[in-house]
Structure 1
Amino acid sequence: MYRQIARNKRWSILLIALFCLAVIGLGLFASWVFAELWPLVLIVIACPLYVWQALTNATKSAAETAGLRTVTAEEERCLHRIVETTAIRAGIPTPRIGVIDEDAPNAFAASLKPGDAVLAVTREF
């Protein structure tokens, strides 16, 4: 399992690097079309800032996009107990737990680091 996690991290880094290279390529093309250096400079500055912003807000963005509603232990006692037990056994902090008001059974977890995790389940679960 840890090999798979390491492989996924490597592929993620490669994908981000390829994205940056593609965007910089567009900046080179724009600089060539306009015969100016400013498009390339602008993109070389903006691309890392965009990637940093996207990565630091990834968990929050995923939760907001899904329509996550955070629930307390009093509201969803069984769900909290299952998640807390699983987190303790895995040796990770308990993630923020939320419910998505949908009828279809579904769930997801999102995080870039264990302390920032969010776990979402639909109402059907």
Structure 2
Amino acid sequence: MNKELIVKGLSGDEGRSDLVRLNYQDRDARKFPRWCVAKLTCGERSRYVVVLGQDNNPGYIELDFDHRNYFGVEKDDKRIFKLKRAGLWGNIVYMLTAHDPMLRLPAIISVVSFFLGVVSMIPMFIEFIGWARK
């Protein structure tokens, strides 16, 4: 999706979740279903966000204060936004950089655990190589 949209604000209770609200007419609902992670780009800046719909106002994008500040836009500005569906790596990056600590902290713990598991296998491979040479 590459479209010119008018910026609106999000309600305060949705601000910490990295939500972006777009009318279904402004996004391909098959490509960007509710709750999918996507890379939102405005100008030279990009950020991973969660896409949700909104019933009213086609032609509008609802961003919280932090997103508006990050992209350098104000309410009622008209800007071109690009939306691209995130793959596996994009989902991992989103979870590690999410504003909501209930998402970010378990993701960080998972990545640390994965790398500790990989490191713990090194002695096993060293022992196996020594056994294979005999």
Asked if Structure 1 and Structure 2 have the same fold, meaning a TM-score greater than 0.5 normalized by the shorter chain, the answer is no
Answer 1 or 2: which has greater strand percent.
Answer: 2
Answer 1 or 2: which has greater helix percent.
Answer: 1
Which of the five TM-score ranges fits, normalised by the shorter chain? under 0.3
Q: Which structure carries more relative contact order (alpha carbon 8 Å, separation 6+)?
A: 2
